[in-house]
Amino acid sequence: MKSVDPDSVRQHAAIRRVIASIPPGRVTSYGEIATRAGWPGRARLVGRVLGEAPAELALPWHRVLRADGRSAFAPGSRGFREQVRRLAGEGVLVCNARVDLALHGWERNLDALLWGPAPSPRKKAATAAPRKTRTAR
DNA sequence: AACCTGACGTTGG
DNA sequence: CCCAACGCCAGGT
């Protein structure tokens, strides 16, 4: 049998716990989860844990996005569509394959709201800026 | 034991 | 905006 590292078990448990505590209608990143779980920099591990987590746990995986607000799944893929669908059901809209973290981010959006958008500082108000829908790369 | 590959992130060109 | 280079962890070849 394979010896299981007890420390590793705690990591996974902590990570799952953090994911399970993401409030509906809010999203966060892999890195943020890793940090909250006590292991900053282990974003990759979060992805693995999420992928191996049994469905019975019913973790809100759809509320986990990349640091830039895009889904970890390829646009158009099965997972991508399902994630977008679930998020939409919670009032989180995905525009241009991306979620506005400054708006739906799980805490940490205060300074962003006060200092202005952090990621893509939309030059001017999006007064109907058609922003080409970037035909799938 | 190298080498590759991911539900990742940051920095620098 | 795209790409490359690292840093990171665990598994598979």
pLDDT value, residue A129: 39
Q: What is the pLDDT of residue A120?
A: 47
Helical pair A43-52 and A6-20, crossing angle rounded to 10 deg: 80
| Tens-digit pLDDT profile for residues A60-76 | 999 999 999 999 999 99
Give the predicted TM-score (pTM) of the model: 0.82
Q: Straight-line distance from CA A49 to C1' B8, in Å?
A: 12
Is the pLDDT score of A98 beyond 70?
yes
CB atoms within 10 A of CB A53: 17
The overall average pLDDT reported for chain A is: 83
Cα distance between residue A104 and residue A69, in whole Å:
10
* A96 CB below 7 A from strand C atoms: no
Domains in chain A: ranges and CATH: 6-110 (1.10.10.10)
User: What pLDDT was estimated at residue A41?
Assistant: 93
pLDDT at A91 over 50: yes
* Cβ of A48 less than 7 A from strand C: yes
Measured on CA atoms in the order A75, A78, A80, A84, is the torsion positive or negative? Answer: positive
Percent of all residues in chain A with a pLDDT value above 90, rounded to a whole number: 67
A11-51: pLDDT as tens digits: 999 999 999 999 999 999 999 999 999 999 999 999 999 99
Residues 16-45 of A with CB under 7 A from strand B: 29-31, 43-44
Residues 6+ apart with CB under 8 A from A43: A29, A30, A31, A33, A34, A67
